Structure 1
Amino acid sequence: MSARLSGRLARLLNLVPYFQAHPGISAVEAARDLGVTPKQIMDDLNQLWVCGLPGYGPGDLIDLSFSEDSIVVTFTAGIDRPLRLTSTEATALLVALRSLLEMPGVVEPAAAQSAIAKIEAAAGTAATADTPDAGPAVTENPVAGRVRDAVRRGRALDLTYYSASRDTVSERVVDPIRIVLIDEHTYLQAWCRTAEGVRLFRFDRIDDATVLDEAAQPPQRALTGDEHLELFEGDPALPAARLRLDPGYTWLLDYYPLTDVEVFPDGSCEAVLRYASRDWMVRLLVGLGSGVTVLAPADLVSAVRSRAGEALAAYAALDAAEPPA
């Protein structure tokens, strides 16, 4: 499921109990509370209006009375009834909660562990027999805890961050927007004041974080839509390498932000990879070996050839230093 769809699904699931707790609230007030636009609230309400229990007859659908001035839930289609989990559902939920504990910043460990204990107690041995032993209690990384706290309280952050693509560590002040899970990694989505744009910061690359005594104030345009959830966005200001990938190396397309891909009949392809640090790019290409050929620019071709020659010379020197068998 895409990040955009999963984010909307989570919001839709929360809307019915939210509007039950705030009868008559306006779309503007709800949008402010939920961190979206009034238009998004109205779009979500129109979607909820055609949702409900299987069968989807007139008496099964969620019913609402809503306008931009007032929103009231008139029929919940059973969403407010206590949930009864089967043993299979309880097992799946336990596995999911334990997986979330391993993702830094997603949940508060104490809260997740409390939920696990309650589900185990309610479901009994039927649901816990097939789940692995939870082991010792999980403690949260202090840095991840501070980031999550800043998101919860709406505070700006001073980050020390390692950028893999640039191979540098930098300090920057950011205005947190939310925490997202993409491709099994946790990211802080935030407005970076240095770059003046929305950026994703991977939790395991945040070396340090200080919560500032000022409110996070991302621009309104940063809060609308999910287009900023792409992990890699091409920066035309960065140099671009034109690469040829042998058929056995096309897996790189899934791991690096390669663009302008041209596939050939033999299964090989050519693509463009932008980079900020030439040293990082040279190390990457030399490490990949003969399966990837640099076609341009000329200075990168020369640097890769030179580094590969140095590596071969070092191996030759080692061979020469070894005594004959």
Structure 2
Amino acid sequence: MTRPAQRSGGARASADRLARLLNLVPYLLARPGIELSEAAADLGVTERQLREDLELLWVCGLPGYGPGDLIDMAFDGDRVTITYDAGIDRPLRLTPDEALALVVALRMLAETPGMANRDAIERALAKIENAAGELADAPVAVRMPGDSDRVEALRGAVQRRRALRITYYTATRDETTERTIDPIRVLMVGGLAYVEAWCRRAESVRMFRADRIDALVELDEPAVAPPQARLHDLSGGIFQPSAELPLVTLRVGRGGRWITEYYPCERVEPGDEVAGADGAGREWLVSLRVTDLDWARRFVLGLGPDVTVVSPPELAEEVRDQAAAALDAYATLPAGTGPAPVGALPGAPPVVVGPASGSPSARNADPAAATGSH
């Protein structure tokens, strides 16, 4: 399995190479017959890397990719000249939809808490809005996910360097606690706002999701993280599974397959073909790591009949026992009262209700919940 850090490094390298290739054609068009060594020095790459880039450019071009559509070049010893640029020197023309998409994306970036280089974003936004004309005034409202007032309060505490007293819901243990924290920074990860802070209760750095902070009070004391406080490396995301965490294997049907896209899974393997109400389908064996089996128990119970626990055995036993307790509670209801919500029954888990696609509740079940990082 590829580690997140490796994937992240590969993505950065690919992005760097794409930017270099996009700059390479206009650079060479302006300098016909330039020596490869001089071009490599200007572009900050080795001559070998430049030759590899040129070989890749040779098979790039307009859709159709026939000989007359590809970028072409001529070599004279160690000198290179672009002889056909496949239209890459044409000015960029944005369609109305493309321009509006860029405006919306830049407005969202400008509203992102803790975003660096905000001046550069606003300058780029102003240029695109000016080029888009009346289109930029389309009635599009941009709001960041979660409670924007809460995020602004967190940002203010970070800027003023003030400690906070918060009431926080911890999804991994399904409990609400009071904590005093020393906020360090506010950031967006996966479309969600977090405050990273020194938690005086845990005596370590923790990540707190903004929409799980039920209440906060800014204290009249400075936020002072101790010298041993270390910020998390989030290049691979909030949840970075390791071999030390418990491995949970589930058998999921068609209705539960969405978890393979929403949660970081270690293995996804096809299982047996099964018949269902909507026709034949395939089961899947899904393995993922969690830090807390109590969270896994609530997660599985919320998924209902689309999921069966394969391992570990203790998780399967806990799910079976709590499901049986919920059924027993239904059986003992007084006559005429009707069924009560599952979350109101003694010993029953809270129901995880999501949109029609089957995705989980945003508050109770998310990839970061499995980490126990807060």
Shorter chain as normaliser: what TM range?
0.5 to 0.7
| Structure 2 equivalent of residue 168 of structure 1 | 175
CA deviations on 1:130-171 (whole Å, 9 max, x unpaired) are x434499xxx84431132234445x36435232222222331
Q: 1:194 to 1:319 in 2, by over 3 A?
A: closer
Alignment equivalent of 1:282, drawn from 281, 284, 297: 297
- Corresponding position: 1:251 with 2:254: no
| Structure 1 equivalent of residue 222 of structure 2 | 213
Q: 1:321 to 1:85 in 2, by over 3 A?
A: same
Mapped partners of 1:231, 1:133: distance in 2: 33
Q: 1:152 to 1:219 in 2, by over 3 A?
A: farther
Mapped partners of 1:147, 1:4: distance in 2: 28
CA deviations on 1:284-306 (whole Å, 9 max, x unpaired) are 32221222223455554333223
Higher helix share: 1
Alignment equivalent of 1:127, drawn from 120, 126, 135: 135
Mapped partners of 2:42, 2:218: distance in 1: 44
Mapped partners of 2:200, 2:12: distance in 1: 27
The within-5 A match list for 1:1-325 is 53-55=23-25, 56-57=27-28, 91-100=100-109, 105=113, 122-123=130-131, 125-128=133-136, 131-134=138-141, 141-152=148-159, 155=161, 157-158=163-164, 160=166, 161-170=168-177, 171-177=179-185, 179-182=187-190, 184-190=191-197, 192=199, 194-195=201-202, 198-207=205-214, 208=216, 210=218, 212-216=221-225, 219=228, 222=231, 226-227=234-235, 229-234=237-242, 236=244, 240=246, 242-248=248-254, 249-256=256-263, 258-259=265-266, 261=267, 263-266=269-272, 267-276=283-292, 278=294, 280-316=295-331, 321=336
Contact 1:179–1:186 (CA<8 Å) still a contact in 2?
yes
Mapped partners of 2:319, 2:291: distance in 1: 14
Query: More displaced, 89-98 or 212-221?
Result: 212-221
| Structure 2 equivalent of residue 73 of structure 1 | none
CA deviations on 1:169-214 (whole Å, 9 max, x unpaired) are 33142452451332x2223344556556554332212332636514
Read off the aligned partner of 2:287 and give its amino acid letter: A
Unmatched tracts of structure 1, length 5 or more = 10-43, 65-83
Q: 1:158 to 1:309 in 2, by over 3 A?
A: same
Read off the aligned partner of 2:323 and give its amino acid letter: A
Unmatched tracts of structure 2, length 5 or more = 29-37, 45-90, 273-282, 339-374
Q: 1:62 to 1:172 in 2, by over 3 A?
A: farther
CA deviations on 1:235-257 (whole Å, 9 max, x unpaired) are 94x7x464322242333233345
Contact 2:107–2:142 (CA<8 Å) still a contact in 1?
no
Q: Percentage identity across aligned positions?
A: 29
Mapped partners of 2:325, 2:94: distance in 1: 61
Mapped partners of 2:94, 2:126: distance in 1: 14
Contact 2:269–2:286 (CA<8 Å) still a contact in 1?
yes
* Secondary structure at 1:147 match in 2: helix
Mapped partners of 1:235, 1:146: distance in 2: 37
Q: 1:306 to 1:152 in 2, by over 3 A?
A: same
Q: How many residues align?
A: 255
* Secondary structure at 2:172 match in 1: coil
Contact 1:244–1:294 (CA<8 Å) still a contact in 2?
yes
CA deviations on 1:42-91 (whole Å, 9 max, x unpaired) are xx9xx9xx799453456899789xxxxxxxxxxxxxxxxxxx99765753
Mapped partners of 1:159, 1:289: distance in 2: 37
Read off the aligned partner of 1:288 and give its amino acid letter: L
TM-score, length of structure 1 as denominator length:
0.54
Larger radius of gyration: 2
CA deviations on 1:89-116 (whole Å, 9 max, x unpaired) are 753332114445776x3569xx9xx989
Q: 1:203 to 1:116 in 2, by over 3 A?
A: farther
Read off the aligned partner of 1:312 and give its amino acid letter: L
Contact 2:241–2:289 (CA<8 Å) still a contact in 1?
no
